[in-house]
Amino acid sequence: DAGVTQTPRHEVAEKGQTIILKCEPVSGHNDLFWYRQTKIQGLELLSYFRSKSLMEDGGAFKDRFKAEMLNSSFSTLKIQPTEPKDSAVYLCASSLGGGRYAEQFFGPGTRLTVL
Amino acid sequence: AQKVTQTQTSISVMEKTTVTMDCVYETQDSSYFLFWYKQTASGEIVFLIRQDSYKKENATVGHYSLNFQKPKSSIGLIITATQIEDSAVYFCAMSEASSSFSKLVFGQGTSLSVVP
């Protein structure tokens, strides 16, 4: 079975650009998560979808970050406009859901560099 | 609010020995789930093991086991007979059963280096 896929694997953007990161969850999974990982802050939850409904929109990340899930097998994370401090690894994860005990399956991540 | 703390930034051990990584957590909930994940050098994050707070027995999967001390809000990860390929960053995480959504809070991670 295919795991979580993310594209692109690497992205370089100029400050002020709009970038869109893509994620395909494991087939049949109901929950989808977007995380940002940096050395300083560690793993931070950006957005969480349950059955395509946005359940968590990331609090402090609201203003320039927008995650969408157009169908059960595809999600995007848009950052607009990008800033150098957005340089990080963006991870997508999915789980079967159905409970807080469900393990999450992570994608390989997209490494974003904003110049 | 939930909080997960891993105080060990990095650990180095000899191959084939046993290592314990510490994790303490804070929660107001009476029921919760604790997880350990591993991130390899390639960046891949994989689930290792889970402890349900209402279970007294420590979880065990392969050469991974947990030392769950509920009164101390502590969940240590024990790796026995370590191998070179166990070198990675290990994250402790928790989710609260009463939360309206399945949200994991992660610790900062412990970098494990297994040397020959």
Burial class of residue A28 in the structure, from the number of CB atoms within 10 Å of its CB (0-12 exposed, 13-18 middle, 19+ buried): exposed
Helix (H, G, I), strand (E, B) or coil at B74: strand
Quick one: pLDDT band at residue A11, thresholds 50, 70, 90? very high
Q: What is the mean pLDDT of residues A84-106?
A: 90
Residue A51: how many CB atoms within 10 A of its CB?
11
pLDDT in tens, A15-49: 999 999 999 999 999 899 999 999 998 999 899 99
pLDDT in tens, B78-110: 999 999 999 999 999 998 766 766 678 999 999
Sort out which chain A residues have CB atoms less than 8 A from B102's CB and list them. 31, 48, 50, 95, 97, 99-100, 102
Q: Is the pLDDT of residue A102 over 90?
A: no
Token duo for residue A41: 């802050």
Instruction: Name which of A21, A37, A29 is nearest A87 in CA terms.
Output: A37
Cβ pair A100:B91 closer than 8 A? no
pLDDT in tens, B8-31: 999 999 999 999 999 999 998 888
Helix (H, G, I), strand (E, B) or coil at A113: strand
Q: Which of B37, B102, B108 lies nearest to residue A100, judging by beta carbons?
A: B102
pLDDT in tens, B21-74: 999 999 988 889 999 999 999 999 999 999 999 999 999 999 999 999 999 999
Please tell me the predicted confidence (pLDDT) of residue B101. Answer: 67
Cβ pair A43:B43 closer than 8 A? no
HSE of A66 in the Cβ direction (CA atoms, 13 Å)?
Answer: 10
Cis status of the peptide bond prior to B71, with omega within 30 of 0: no
Cβ pair A104:B47 closer than 8 A? yes
